[in-house]
Amino acid sequence: MLTGATLVFLVASHSLLLVQQAQALSLKVHKHHRPATTNSARSLNPHNSTGTGRRQLAARLDPEPLDLDNAYDLYYSTDLTIGGQQLSVQLDTGSSELWVRPGNAFTAIQAQVSTNSLSIRYGIGSFTGNITTADVVMGDITIPKQSFLTYTTGAIDNVFKAGLDGMLGLGFDDGSHVHTTVSRNGGGDSGRTLLSNFFVNNPEQPKTMSFAMSRLNDGTDDDGLFMIGEPEPEYAAVKTQPAHPLRINDTPGDFQRWALYLDAIEINGKNITGLQSVVKGAPAGKLVANIDTGTSLGWMPAAAVDAIYKDVPGAVYFSETDQYTVPCMTQLRLAFWFDGVRYPMHPLDVTRVGQSKPDADGNRQYLCTNAFVHMAALAGQTATLDLQLGDSFLRNVISQYDFGDLTDAKTANIRMLTTVPDELAAMNDFLQVRAKQIGVAAPAPVTELPGGTIAGGTPTTSATATSTGTTMTIDPTDAPAPTEVPGTPEQDPASDGNNSDGSTPETNTPSDTGAASSLAPHLSAAVVLLSSLALALW
């Protein structure tokens, strides 16, 4: 049950009437399946050398022999009312822009659409939009005169094919080109991000946002929660978890990301060795990892991907797409370490289910591919990230993003509460769910974990960057090995690769940190906005 005090705002000609409410606000969160596309493989864009944001990625047309299940290719979205129209927007901590394509053109009463335009480029598409000002409503909370982009033209159809109307960027103000442009043209603070304007006008609220994401096909119908301000009581323990400070990005011309320093990647009880950061100034032994809700998968160095999947019995590597297939019942025990705290992954989030193209008789074969993949753009002298940890990682934690004082990223941090407190239970949950996904009988429960028990401290260092997984022989994909090249896993069109806005405007020891009560959130989908202070009258 939602608790807390909130305020309802009645809007009339951009004036606000304050009404006290006793209950919290909630907005439903939706999961959208990724549409099929042939824009699957990605390469560096030779026409841009400004860093490793999405702007550096380009798409090429390649065949896609593998139709992947949507368990790992999802958009998490919520509904906003903008200029009187309800619009579904993707939740993206990797960008800072709010942009939409309304179902009907905004009228002069609904919004003020300027002739000032910005061109935004993502890895697999781009669009142009006009800077617009309108009231934005989240539940009963109204942010008046918010600036954003209204889509006018472009090629970013995957967003729309997924049933989305745009994106809500949840990054910092310095990553918003709308904010920069509006401020430069005398528009004041209306160009700040939507959350910045919410927090500025609600100073007594903690400047935090929290996520509890569930996975598809995990035996529940829950999508999870997105909480702005004080988290729900069920997730209040995240507030007491270690605060991981952000990696401060001082690269000229770049912007601040929700990026952390990663201690280690652990596979089956051992660290992956030989990994070195490509980010200039990164401390020895650390990697820079962006924590991004707008990316479906996890992107990491090739050596790390090989260490996780290469030596799995039955694994097949396809150089054409830089991708592995593994037997679908393979149990891999993956964990990430931040500041001495260990965050284990549920095995369901380490591989993903797909099907081959039909053969001459129309039959398909189940194939499972790596959910943590290599991206070539995460390299080079201008790199600002080593890893991109998206929803495949975030489904395994309750995450709280703290903006600090909103002006200095050194005061910002991320806290995470594991949702995998019992790894053995997760392994057996995997066996039940995955067997159902591929239509086979579930095997007997396992009693041991790959790599043994992690009792404390950092994991044992492996001699080589390799791993093996536990494979159940009932898997129909054990034999024969696939003979077709699977298509490269897709990403969220608005969150390619290194994420964190990535848009290019154009001029004109593990701690006892507690755990959530289940392997995945068992709550109805909602966005919770807890507020005890009125928005200032504008």
Overall average pLDDT of the 421-448 stretch = 95
Residue scoring higher pLDDT (510 or 63): 510
Does some domain include residue 446?
Answer: yes
Sequential DSSP letters for 185-197: TT-TTTTS-HHHH
Q: What is the pLDDT of residues 474-510, one digit of tens each?
A: 333 333 344 454 443 333 333 333 343 334 344 334 4
pLDDT at 38 over 50: no
Which segments of 275-322 are extended strands (E)? 287-291, 298-300, 316-318
Instruction: Identify the three-state secondary structure at position 180.
Output: helix
- Record the pTM: 0.78
pLDDT at 251 over 70: yes
CA 1 → CA 109, 523, 526, 528, distances in Å? 37, 10, 11, 11
Does some domain include residue 390?
Answer: yes
pLDDT reported for residue 163 = 86
- How many Å apart are CA 504 and CA 158, to the nearest integer? 19
Does some domain include residue 514?
Answer: no
Overall average pLDDT of the 221-226 stretch = 72
pLDDT tier at 377, thresholds 50, 70, 90: low
Instruction: Identify the three-state secondary structure at position 81.
Output: strand
- How many Å apart are CA 12 and CA 66, to the nearest integer? 52
Domain that holds residue 416: 6-498+524-529
Overall average pLDDT of the 212-236 stretch = 78
CA 422 from chain centre, in angstroms, equals 24
User: With left for phi above 0 and alpha for psi between -120 and 50, is residue 166 left, alpha or beta?
Assistant: left
Paired residues of 402 in beta bridges: 208, 413
Number of domains in the chain: 1
Does some domain include residue 325?
Answer: yes
- How many Å apart are CA 309 and CA 332, to the nearest integer? 9
Does some domain include residue 507?
Answer: no
Instruction: Give the chain's count of helices (H) and strands (E).
Output: 6, 34
Sequential DSSP letters for 397-441: EEEEEE-TTSS-GGG-EEEEEES-S-HHHHHHHHHHHHHHHHT--
Tokens of 168: 């809500």
Would you name the residues annotated as active-site residues? Answer: 92, 292
Q: What is the pLDDT of residues 178-212, one digit of tens each?
A: 999 998 887 777 789 999 999 988 888 899 999 98
Let me know the angle formed at the C-alpha of 371 by 369 and 375, rounded to the nearest 5 degrees.
105
- How many Å apart are CA 213 and CA 40, to the nearest integer? 25
Pairing mode, if any, of strands 244-245 and 413-418? antiparallel
Tokens of 142: 């109204």
Residue scoring higher pLDDT (468 or 300): 300
Overall average pLDDT of the 371-395 stretch = 85
Does some domain include residue 515?
Answer: no
Residue 157: CATH number of its domain: 2.40.70.10
Does some domain include residue 504?
Answer: no
Does some domain include residue 248?
Answer: yes
Residue scoring higher pLDDT (424 or 356): 424
Overall average pLDDT of the 69-83 stretch = 70
